[in-house]
Structures are given as C-alpha cells and as structure tokens.
Structure 1
Amino acid sequence: MEEAISIPLILFMIFVAPIWVIMHYRARRQISQGLSEEEKTSLHNLADKAESMAERIRTLEQILDAESPDWRNKV
C-alpha cells in the first residue's frame, strides 16, 4: 500500500513541484515589477479614449436636453 502512495508522491516531487514553484515565483516577480512600458502606454491610451467618450456623452446629453427636455424621464 505504501508503494501505491510513495511512487506518485515521488514523481510529483520530482516533476510537478519544481515547475510549480518556478512558475509561482516568476508570476510573483512580474507582479512586483509593476506595469511594463507597453502596458503603461495601453493604459494611457484607454484613459484618453474614456475621457473622449465621456466628453461625447456630455455633448449628446446637452443636445438631448435642448431638443427634448423630458428625455431622461422616458427612460
């Protein structure tokens, strides 16, 4: 019975555990380094697009308020 448990355990410790530990600490290191330059650029572009969309929404709401003052009550 002990062989049935010990052989898979040994195989796990030889093959799976080292890979698991390496991947774990590699992910930890990447998280601690923060954003890469590409990610920072992408985040900045997304923030610019969000601000542009917010401005467009404000403009559309102003147009709707002028043309149909009760449009907010219809929704």
Structure 2
Amino acid sequence: MEEVLAIAAIFVFLPWIILHYVTKWKTSASITTDDEALLEELYSLAKRLDERMDTVERLVASDNPGFKPARLVHDSEVDNQQLRELEELIAEKKGASK
C-alpha cells in the first residue's frame, strides 16, 4: 500500500502541483484587460494634452513674436513616427481581440 502511495505521489501529485503553480505563474505575469484599458485611456489623454500644448504654443507665438516654445522641436517627425507605431499596435490588439 505504501508503494502505491509513493508511486502515485511521484507520478500524479508531484506533476500536478508543479503544473498548477506554473499555470498560476503564467497567468499572473500578464496584464489584465483592466490594465490594458487604463493604458489605452492614459495614452489617449496624453495625446489630447500634447495636441492642446501645440495649440497653446501656436496661439501664444502668434500673439507674442518673441515667444520661444519650451519644446525643442515642434511636431517632431521622430515623435510622430513613434506615436503612429503605437497606434498601429493598439489597432492590431483591438483587431485581434474582436
């Protein structure tokens, strides 16, 4: 009887425990859908704020010719390319989840 329990422990219970915790580890390592929604909301908020800053800087520059914006490069192509890549990833993620 003890031999049967030892064999069951080795071939059934031990792999079950290992696989159980491996599964728990893999599921906890990913971000949740709530996290993804929050990140997407923060991204859209940051994009809107960036557009507002551009508008405010243009308005101030049109009223005051001596105004120099705090940004080094206005509407930089490098920044815009990174934003386009991020938007493409978000669109792909939405397309894959549907």
Q: TM-score, normalised by structure 1?
A: 0.53
CA RMSD of aligned residues (A): 2.3
Q: Which runs of 5+ in 1 are unaligned?
A: 1-24
> 1:13 is matched with which residue?
none
Query: Would you say 1:52 and 2:41 are equivalent positions?
Result: no
Aligned-partner Cα distance in 2 for 1:71–1:36: 45
Structure 1 residue 28 displacement after superposition: 5.0
Segments of 5+ residues of structure 2 without an aligned counterpart are: 1-21, 70-98
Letter in 2 for 1:37: T
CA separation in 2, counterparts of 1:42 and 1:57?
22
Aligned match of 1:35 in 31, 36, 42?
A: 31
Q: Of Structure 1 and Structure 2, which has the larger fraction of its residues in helix? A: 1
Query: What CA distance in whole angstroms lies between the structure 1 residues aligned with 2:63 and 2:25?
Result: 55
In structure 2, C-alpha distance between the alignment counterparts of 1:69 and 1:61, rounded to whole Å: 11
Paired-residue identity, %: 17
Larger Rg: 1
What CA distance in whole angstroms lies between the structure 2 residues aligned with 1:72 and 1:60? 12
| Structure-2 residue corresponding to 1:66 | 62
Supply the distance in 1 between the matched residues of 2:50 and 2:65 (Cα, whole angstroms).
Answer: 20
TM, length-normalised to structure 2 = 0.42
Select the structure with the greater relative contact order (CA < 8 A; seq sep ≥ 6).
2
